[in-house]
Structure 1
Amino acid sequence: MSTSAAGGHGYPQSPCFVGILSARDARIVHMFESLKSKAVGYGSRDILKAVDGLKRGRIAVANELLVWVAAWADAHPAESIMEAGPGLARAVRPGGEGTPAVNDLAMVELFAKLGKSTGSGMLFLGDVLDLRHRLPQLWAKVMGCELEEWQARRVARMTHHLSLEQVGEVDRAVAWFAGTQPPGKLFDAVEATILRIDGDRARAEYEERRRQVGVWKSQTDDNGLKGVFGRLEPLAAERLYARVQELADCLSEGTADERRAEAFGMLGDVAAITRLRARRRQPERFDEELAEAVAALTPDDEPDLMIEESEVHPALRDRPAAVDVESVIFEAAVERLVERLDPRLLVPTSTVVVHISAEDLSQGEGVCRVPELGPTLKSVVGEWLGHDRVVVRPVIDLNDAPPPVDDYEIPDRHRDHAMLRCPGSVFPWSTATRNLDLDHTDPYRPNGPPGQTRVEKLIPLSRTEHRAVTHGGWRRRKPDPTTMIFRSPHGHVFLTNRTGTHDLGAGSVARALWGAVSR
């Protein structure tokens, strides 16, 4: 009998085993052929109906698995251990404070059926026990298939270190909108609540993260390229990337990635950056003035050029090797030219938008929301701003909207007001917060009534979402300042507001609501 491995599992290739594999493969092929034929011949509405049903079924199956895992833990508690001793079963508590202990060896069989290692299985079980015993409101949403199990388990993992009382606060704070918000917004809300109730720990973790920053370079790869990698504070990373993009915008050749790579490499050449930025921001001082500065430093007739030490760039004065005359002349000329530049125009600027409630502003350690960076302690934001020249812009009173205008183009004041009122897209399930368009909920008419562009009728959308409502068959209505109702090309109605996205379907209730809502 041959003993070579089959499929990498070390099974002997006996005729019986080959027959089992062949039968299994035949069933798999038949299953996939059956799946492919399921969607043949259906129209768009039926496809959407099938997708909706399968999505709900997938959520129900995944959520039901948590029930059976919890049942297995109930069936094998720590009390089921009949004998103690070296190597025998032990009581372990995979969950946090307030969860029951279980028989660790009994869990191994469950993890094998789940297809998980012992380590990952214990983490999975800990999430389940945390949800059922520490986050009862989220657990109820999971049981009602209103929240996907992976999102609920992520919240359980984020709150595992909290006390029973603290995790209860998180449960009450986020359960009411869990399942109606995109996952990122749910996790941001959880993080903000944790910062608020456990600020001391969050501050300690922040200080620990500050010691984990660094910059590293890789070995040269087969293509002759070398990588540079850094781990920075979020704002420092955003500022660095913005500087690289600013320099890349000054370049004209190459793709966007190539220009950014060239700009990133220029960070090691201060003179090159100064020339590039000054030429971009103060072009009138270059070309002729630079030529004049070079000419002033170049002797007319001397073949052996002698340069006074005072005219040599400071970085070159102590160089032991022979000085490159042309480089010295150019560097000295640039130094003379830079002396006449306006330094205020060369200093990079950064804009940080910080959202903070009046309650958090008055507290010693409040929580801020910084777009793209997420919830952040107020003291951390203060440290970020402590290193720059800070100009505080007046707070815009969102209750004092600017007056309507007649133009299709949106003035900056109206744009700022609309974006501060709603800093993210209002499209169903959207997570877009950058490069947003402002859409007129009442389509602008060139010969329409005056005052068509008003803050109350502007909503933020991503470019693709904007195109969908303008040219893709989507329709939208805004019954009040905090609510949007969208209707898809095939009649499915979605309601979005501060609680998230609500899929109302395409039935009679959805049609009645759409018909009852004015623009």
Structure 2
Amino acid sequence: MISDLSDATPEQLLRAAEDGVRDRRKAEVRQLELLLAWADLHSGDPQAEPGAVPVRFGGPRLISLGGDGTPEVADLALVEMAIARHEHVLSTRGALADAFDLRHRLPAVWAGVRAGRCEVWVVRRVARMSRTLDRHQIRIVDEAVAAALDESPSRILAIAEAKVIEADPAAHRARVEKNQQDKGVWYPKARPGSQVDDADNTAGVGTVFARLDEADALAHQHTVDDLAAALAEHADVPEGAEPLSMELWRAEAFAMLADPAAVLAFLHDINDTPGTSEVEEVAQQPSRDPRRSAEIVVHVALDDTGALGPVARVESLGPRLLTQVSDLLGRHAAISVQPVIDLHTGRSVNGYEHPTDVKHRTQLRTVGDVFPHATGLFTRSGRAPDHDHTVAYDKHGPPGQTGDHNDTPLTRHHHRAKTHVPGYTVLQLGPDKWIWGTPHGLYRLVTSGGTTAITRAEYQLHAQDAIVLAEGYAA
């Protein structure tokens, strides 16, 4: 332990930060283990004890907290543990329910988090997400999440979400049907004092909440985005004035939809082609405008029988039942199916720019930013990554420098760090595997399965497998 942080070297501070993460995770696991040990001591039926006060008079009883297959615990025994944990007994119950689920229903995940591979809050959330599954259904969640524990929290939760739906598609279908009955639009009124309260700050603005059918919500979003883009393009911006953000233009477009005549007049004025405007056509045929196009990337898998599984992953949306995907696609009159992209293929070119097909394959392989411990998912951020050459492009170098073998997708901030902070190193071991070194000697292996800490010796060992030229990937 460093006694005086002001005297520490950069390397010592980094090592201490790493040690702190490991110790914190271990301590949080220890708290769950203490809860489980306490529950084990109080798993017997208190009503079987001599002189027990009957339940009808307020006496202790066994209760179930976790999902199917977890043991019961004496309810009043948790009160004293809550005092020891400095929290309300309901918080203690919730933590024990998660711990029960992890130990008894998600054993592979529990083993991984005990090994320090993941933040405890992430797996606790997985336990809550999957609590309605029975002890047999939850096995596919356990297997998939355990294999993904080195990935970012958002990826782990996305995988867990998909597997919970896959494990019980009938229950998810019921959720969808119930939500269809709970749709609505709300215009809440400002509370007294909110005009001047900094916490609420509703002065001059209103709020709208809407719950729509998913396909309708996407269609509404596209309409607002298109109208906002048109308003921004044809706005009269005074010279030297700062242009409005697209968020503000979307608000203007949303408000403008309250007056359809104004929308039609605006689009008529900016439309160079005489005749019916696009919005008029959309009004006549709102859900089947063949001129509206959108690329939807759907990932599907086959089950053991060779048929399509019940769940597909839709880029930018997440896991959806196949029936939901059909509904989304059903909003388009014309659908063109593109060929399946083979992520096992690759090619290289002699120019500097990465070809579109190479970028597409790289983004599908990696899903997100490949900087160590990055959490950004390209489909969620809406912004295309920077496709950086892993080994810097040399215009006087050998042919085939650009391709699947030499492509590191990064968000702009991480790209700037790699480029402008001396000491970062990165080597590519394959189309979906990189090793990184930091300026002060931290080393990481990054794959499509997440980030793993490695030693300097392991880094040097991996470096022998680094791809330098396009061998094996040239078209």
- Relative to the length of structure 2, the TM-score reads 0.82
- Are 2:69 and 2:105, in contact at CA under 8 Å, matched by a contact in 1? yes
**CA apart distance, 1:47:** 1.1
Aligned to 2:285: none
Q: Deviations over 1:338-364 (max 9, x none)?
A: 499998999543332211124499636
- Are 1:493 and 1:514, in contact at CA under 8 Å, matched by a contact in 2? no
Q: Say if 2:128 is the partner of 1:154.
A: no
Say which of 431, 446, 453 aligns to 1:503. 453
Say which of 125, 128, 131 aligns to 2:96. 125
Matched ranges for 1:114-263 at <5 A: 114-178=85-149, 180-219=150-189, 222=195, 223-250=203-230, 251=232, 252=235, 253=237, 254-256=243-245, 257-263=247-253
**CA apart distance, 1:486:** 1.5
Q: Say if 2:21 is the partner of 1:55.
A: yes
- Are 1:91 and 1:103, in contact at CA under 8 Å, matched by a contact in 2? yes
Q: Say if 2:366 is the partner of 1:422.
A: yes
- Are 1:477 and 1:518, in contact at CA under 8 Å, matched by a contact in 2? yes
Say which of 233, 239, 256 aligns to 1:266. 256
Q: Say if 2:329 is the partner of 1:385.
A: yes
**CA apart distance, 1:502:** 0.5
Classify the secondary structure of the residue corresponding to 1:478: strand
Classify the secondary structure of the residue corresponding to 2:348: coil
Q: Specify every segment of 5 or more residues in structure 1 that has no aligned partner in the other structure, as ranges.
A: 1-34, 290-335
Classify the secondary structure of the residue corresponding to 1:78: coil
Q: Which has the higher contact order (CA 8 A, sep 6+)?
A: 2
Q: For the residues of structure 1 that align with 2:139 and 2:278, how far apart are their CA atoms?
A: 62
Q: Deviations over 1:240-291 (max 9, x none)?
A: 33432332222245521322211111122334434555666x5x33xxx7xx
| Structure with the largest fraction of helix | 1
Q: 1:273 to 1:444 in 2, by over 3 A?
A: farther
2:160 is aligned with what amino acid?
A: V
Aligned to 2:439: 489
**CA apart distance, 1:216:** 1.0
**CA apart distance, 1:89:** 0.6
**CA apart distance, 1:234:** 4.5
Q: For the residues of structure 2 that align with 1:472 and 1:242, how far apart are their CA atoms?
A: 39
Classify the secondary structure of the residue corresponding to 1:165: coil
Q: 1:423 to 1:276 in 2, by over 3 A?
A: farther
Say which of 77, 95, 102 aligns to 1:106. 77
Matched ranges for 1:336-351 at <5 A: 338=277, 348-351=292-295
Q: Deviations over 1:38-59 (max 9, x none)?
A: 4212222111011011111111
Q: For the residues of structure 2 that align with 1:419 and 1:262, how far apart are their CA atoms?
A: 33
2:127 is aligned with what amino acid?
A: A
Q: Deviations over 1:131-173 (max 9, x none)?
A: 1122222222233223332222112111211111112332123
Matched ranges for 1:300-339 at <5 A: 338=277
- Are 2:297 and 2:315, in contact at CA under 8 Å, matched by a contact in 1? yes
**CA apart distance, 1:88:** 0.7
Q: For the residues of structure 1 that align with 2:409 and 2:305, how far apart are their CA atoms?
A: 27
Larger Rg computed on CA atoms: 1
Q: For the residues of structure 1 that align with 2:219 and 2:277, how far apart are their CA atoms?
A: 24
- Are 1:277 and 1:346, in contact at CA under 8 Å, matched by a contact in 2? no
- Are 2:343 and 2:361, in contact at CA under 8 Å, matched by a contact in 1? no
Say which of 382, 401, 426 aligns to 1:476. 426
**CA apart distance, 1:499:** 2.6
- Are 2:62 and 2:75, in contact at CA under 8 Å, matched by a contact in 1? yes
Aligned to 2:397: 448
Classify the secondary structure of the residue corresponding to 2:94: helix
1:249 is aligned with what amino acid?
A: A
- When the two chains are superposed, the root-mean-square deviation of aligned CA atoms in Å is 3.0
- Are 1:239 and 1:350, in contact at CA under 8 Å, matched by a contact in 2? no
Aligned to 1:92: 63
Q: For the residues of structure 1 that align with 2:158 and 2:128, how far apart are their CA atoms?
A: 14
Say which of 54, 63, 69 aligns to 2:35. 69
Aligned to 2:386: 437
**CA apart distance, 1:122:** 1.6
Q: For the residues of structure 2 that align with 1:42 and 1:249, how far apart are their CA atoms?
A: 52
Classify the secondary structure of the residue corresponding to 2:136: helix
Q: Say if 2:357 is the partner of 1:406.
A: no
Q: 1:107 to 1:255 in 2, by over 3 A?
A: same
- Are 1:274 and 1:346, in contact at CA under 8 Å, matched by a contact in 2? no
Identity %: 31
Q: Say if 2:465 is the partner of 1:465.
A: no
**CA apart distance, 1:87:** 0.7
**CA apart distance, 1:91:** 1.1
**CA apart distance, 1:77:** 1.5
Q: Deviations over 1:299-357 (max 9, x none)?
A: xxxxxxxxxxxxxxxxxxxxxxxxxxxxxxxxxxxxx6649999899954333221112
**CA apart distance, 1:108:** 1.1
Classify the secondary structure of the residue corresponding to 2:394: coil
Q: For the residues of structure 1 that align with 2:331 and 2:279, how far apart are their CA atoms?
A: 26
Q: 1:403 to 1:364 in 2, by over 3 A?
A: closer
- Are 1:243 and 1:348, in contact at CA under 8 Å, matched by a contact in 2? no
Number of corresponding residues: 432
- Are 1:78 and 1:92, in contact at CA under 8 Å, matched by a contact in 2? no
Aligned to 1:316: none
Q: Specify every segment of 5 or more residues in structure 2 that has no aligned partner in the other structure, as ranges.
A: 196-202, 238-242, 283-287, 469-475
- Are 2:435 and 2:459, in contact at CA under 8 Å, matched by a contact in 1? no
Bigger mean CA offset, 404-413 vs 481-490: 404-413
Q: For the residues of structure 2 that align with 1:400 and 1:40, how far apart are their CA atoms?
A: 50
